[in-house]
Structures are given as C-alpha cells and as structure tokens.
Amino acid sequence: MSKRIEIERVMQARLGAAAPAASGPEAETLRRFRTFVSTALVRGASPRPVLEGLRPNERRVMALLACWADVASELAGPDRSAVSDALRPLLEHFRFAIRTTGQTRKTSGPPRATRRAISSAIDRIADLYFAIEVDSGEILDANPSAGAALGVARDALLGVEFNAFVPADAQGPWWTSLDSLAEGQEQHVFAATMQDREGRRIRLEVSATRHLRTTNRVVALVIARLDNKVEALIDARPTC
C-alpha cells in the first residue's frame, strides 16, 4: 500500500484513455478495494467489502482491479509471487461482493455476471468488434481483438466513450455513422481511424449496424477490420 501513487501512475500509463477518472465512481471503488486489501492483510482474514452506494460495472471494475493487482505485484520486486498469491483470493472475494451488493444483484437466483451487450461468439473473431450506444458514444461491449489493438484489456474499455480512442481530427466519420443509425439507417460502411493507448493511429474499414435493445436504446454493432492497403504499398516500395 506504501506504493499507491506509483501503482496509480503505472496503471494510468497502461490504461491510457481507459484509466478511471480521478473523481469518478470507479476511483471510489478502487479506493474501497485498497482499504479492503489493507484490512484483510493486517487482520489475516477478509472482511466484507463496503460497496453500499456504488453501482459498479462488474466487468470493467474487475479489469481495473486486475490491472491494479498486476502492477502491485510487479512493483513488489522479489516478493512478487507472494503478493500475487495474497491478492488473488481477495480479488475473487471482492468480485463476489460486487455481484451480491445493492443494485448489481438480480431479483432472484444465484449471483450472476453482468449480461453481455453482444454475443460472446464475437470473442472468437479476429476483427475488432464494439457495441456502442449511439447517443452517448459509450462502449457497452467489445471483443479481445479490440482490446489487443488498442493495447488495453477488453473489459477495461466498458463504459469508456469510444472517442477517447479516436484522434480529435478523425471523429467526424464516427459521429456521422452513429447519427445515421440513430435516425433509422440500418447499416453504414465507412473508413475510419482509431488510436491505441500510446496514441498510435490505426486505420480501419468499418461496418456499423443498427440494433435496438430491449431498453429502447439504439446500439451500433461495429465490426472493424484493419486497413492494410497503405501498409502493403509501403512494404512493397524499393529499399534503395
């Protein structure tokens, strides 16, 4: 716990635009997790985490906490394995508490994970896949390929505005597409650009499809394929 500031600095670098806001509810959840871990390690037993008043997205919060635990273990130096082993059961304890506390619990039955916005089948495709709420631009779901391309754990993208990973001068095509879907167009195909956590640009061929959820929110199901045409031309240039 003595390296809290250093842990947060490394987390910020690893998560980039997906890092939690300093004053947001996710930062408060991280603070309560740190308190929970400190108390558990001092007492030698795990108290029940205090989560009242919070409504965390389980998948995103657990991705953030896993990142925190990884960084804390790495910064422990020669005690890395011991710290990792000590934090692993505490992460699972905290996950269970999130599922069974307040608004995150289902009305009946055993605790369940948060329902996916899109089918888990998209986890197996190589293309980037996002579910984006058209009004807010919030990323509701994504697949591992999207996380890998952006350099961030997939679940850490949830709840983040998609334009946090789009250069300011390249946001026009995205908003044009989302607006057209909001107005009733079923599909929109366009060329677009995103950027990874370190600011490197990624050129994409994008297809966005309109989907109406049971909550009457319009969601853009976005499949994006890396545009390798320019790279192929560069690779084919003479080297002399």
Q: How far apart are CA 115 and CA 225, in angstroms?
A: 26
Statement: the pTM of the whole predicted model exceeds 0.85: no
Q: Write down the residue that tokens 């677009």 correspond to.
A: 192
Sign of CA dihedral 227, 218, 121, 160: positive
Tell me, what's the pLDDT at 108?
40
In the chain, domain spans: 4-104, 120-231
Q: How far apart are CA 57 and CA 70, in angstroms?
A: 20
| Joined tokens for residue 39 | 């108390």
Residue 231 — very low, low, confident or very high, per pLDDT cuts 50/70/90? very low
Q: Write down the residue that tokens 């989907």 correspond to.
A: 211
CA 166 to chain centre: 15
Statement: residue 107 has pLDDT above 50: no
Statement: residue 240 has pLDDT above 60: no
Q: How far apart are CA 172 and CA 221, in angstroms?
A: 18
| Joined tokens for residue 198 | 């370190």
Q: What is the pLDDT of residues 12-26, one digit of tens each?
A: 999 999 998 877 788
CATH no. for 120-231:
3.30.450.20
In the chain, the percentage of residues whose pLDDT exceeds 90 is 55
Q: How long a stretch of residues is the chain?
A: 240
Q: How far apart are CA 219 and CA 141, in angstroms?
A: 10
Q: Which candidate, 100, 72, 102, places its Cα nearest to that of 87?
A: 72
Taking the CB of residue 198, how many other CB atoms lie within 10 A of it? 9
DSSP three-state, residue 75: coil
Q: What is the pLDDT of residues 130-162, one digit of tens each?
A: 999 999 999 999 999 999 999 999 999 999 999
CA–CA–CA angle 137, 163, 14 (5° rounding)? 120
Residue type present at position 233: L
Statement: residue 216 has pLDDT above 70: yes
